[in-house]
Amino acid sequence: MNDNLSKLDKALGMVKQRGLDGLIIYSNGVCSILRPSYLYYFSGLRPLGPNNAMVISKSGDVVLLVEPPWDSIRASRKSWVSDVRGSTDFVKDLIGIMRGFGMTVRVGVSALNIMTEEVYVPISQEAKIEPADDIIEEMARIKTKKEIENVRKTARIADIGFKTFLEYARVGIREYELSAEMEYAMRKAGADDNFTLLSSGKHNYAMHTPKDKRLEKGDIVLGEITPLCEGQFIQLCRTLVLGKPSPILIEKYDMLLESLGQALKPIKSGAPASLISKNMNKVISDAGYAEYCYPPYMRARGHGLGVGSIAPGGTIDDDCKEMLESQQVIIVHPNQYLPETGYLACGETIMVTDTGPERLAETETKLYIKEV
């Protein structure tokens, strides 16, 4: 059974288990690491229009409904679904499919939180609507063979993004100009999208979207590089110094590298995800920075990379209840604000295996120094 049919089979199993008439996987056309894109994950289509839906009946019938209607040609090429329909009246066409599939009593909807009132109200009059994000999220916990291939491809793109970051970071360039060079390089390498945070200064307080600030000699330049390719994300968190770093900066970054190393040690299938955070925080706390390990200074020590940013949870911290599973992909980052150095970026994307962590990027995790 191929990956797509396996996904459909799993979804049908959960639909029947819950006694639903079917499942609607909705999209408003936005695909971002900041929010799960269930339709993209399930159908293979990166939607364009403001309303799109994959409709699955409990008997296994599937329709992909897209807006605008001319996008049906592209959707037919990109998706594995054979019945693709373009729509000029999304609500009317969606209700027609629901009625044709006998979805008139209880229907699960994924991405219900982004569905507009204009869509929700009419379909809720046809059947009782129940949130069903967890159906897709449960399936996405473990990568398929094809997804793992795409993860590795995306990791190479992330490496290219960092190589460009290192090459173009120089005195005088603006943050947004540096980000544009990285964007171009990663797009050229095959990225569908990029989420980049980039900050520079002698004492950074956080990472943010690139601004018009020019890089200066002595700046600590932070990069969080997150390309997307075929629905899969990879994230690198790196720190670069323009000029000779101070001894205290080297010392504190070495501490973060040690905390990263300790955080990686417990990673394997069956281990509590919370150990990642606890091991990381212990190193930093033992160095005298316990108060800086938690809000308002820090929020999370990592997160999953599944559908958007989920499995094994949107946040990996001391209180995370999830257990790690084989072939999950997670970001582990002791990104840290320290009073002596400011905010520093240090993070790695990891695949969980039965025997331990597998680093996905080839870019070395270290404090990078560029003479100016």
Give pLDDT, residue 315: 82
CB contact at 8 A, 203 and 246? no
| Phi (first) and psi of residue 261, to 5 degrees | -60, -40
- Report whether 37 contacts 31 (CB < 8 A): yes
- Top pLDDT among 320 and 339 is at 339
Q: For the chain, list the domains and their CATH numbers.
A: 3-140 (3.40.350.10), 145-370 (3.90.230.10)
Residue with the larger pLDDT of the pair 53 and 44: 53
- What are the helix (H) ranges across the chain? 3-17, 38-43, 72-78, 90-100, 117-124, 133-140, 145-168, 175-188, 247-264, 274-284
Query: Which helix H or strand E contains 349, and what residues bound it?
Result: strand 348-352
The answer, yes or no, to whether residue 349 has pLDDT greater than 70, is yes
Asked if residue 68 has a cis previous peptide bond (ω within 30° of 0), the answer is yes
Residue type, 19: G
User: Would you say residue 143 has pLDDT above 90?
Assistant: no
Least confident of 5-9, 32-36, 137-141: 32-36
Position 296 confidence tier, pLDDT thresholds 50, 70, 90? confident
- Looking at residues 270-297, what average pLDDT do you find? 94
Structure tokens at 366: 């270290």
pLDDT grade, residue 7 (50/70/90)? confident
Q: Is the pLDDT reported for residue 311 higher than 60? A: no
Q: How far apart are alpha carbons 123 and 132 in whole angstroms?
A: 15
**pLDDT recorded at residue 358:** 95
pLDDT tens-digit profile of 112-132? 999 999 999 999 999 999 999
Q: Is the pLDDT of residue 27 over 80?
A: yes
Mean pLDDT of the chain: 92
Whole-model pTM: value is 0.87
Lookup: tokens for 306: 């599944």
H or E segment at 56? strand 52-57
Residue position matching structure tokens 């599973």:
325
Span 202-252, pLDDT tens digits: 999 999 999 999 999 999 999 999 998 888 889 999 999 999 999 999 999
pLDDT of 93 > 80? The answer is: yes
Mean pLDDT for the stretch of residues 255-269? 97
Ranges of beta strands (E only) in 182-247 are: 193-201, 220-229, 232-233, 236-242
Sign for the CA dihedral angle at 64, 66, 69, 73 comes to negative
The answer on pLDDT for 283 being more than 80 is: yes
Strand partners of residue 226: 195
Q: What is the rounded CA–CA span in Å between residue 354 and residue 142?
A: 13
Going by C-alpha positions, the residue among 8, 45, 6 that lies closest to residue 26 is 45
Flag whether pLDDT at 148 surpasses 50.
yes
3-state secondary structure of 116: coil
Average pLDDT score over residue span 100-123: 95
Mean pLDDT of 269-289: 96
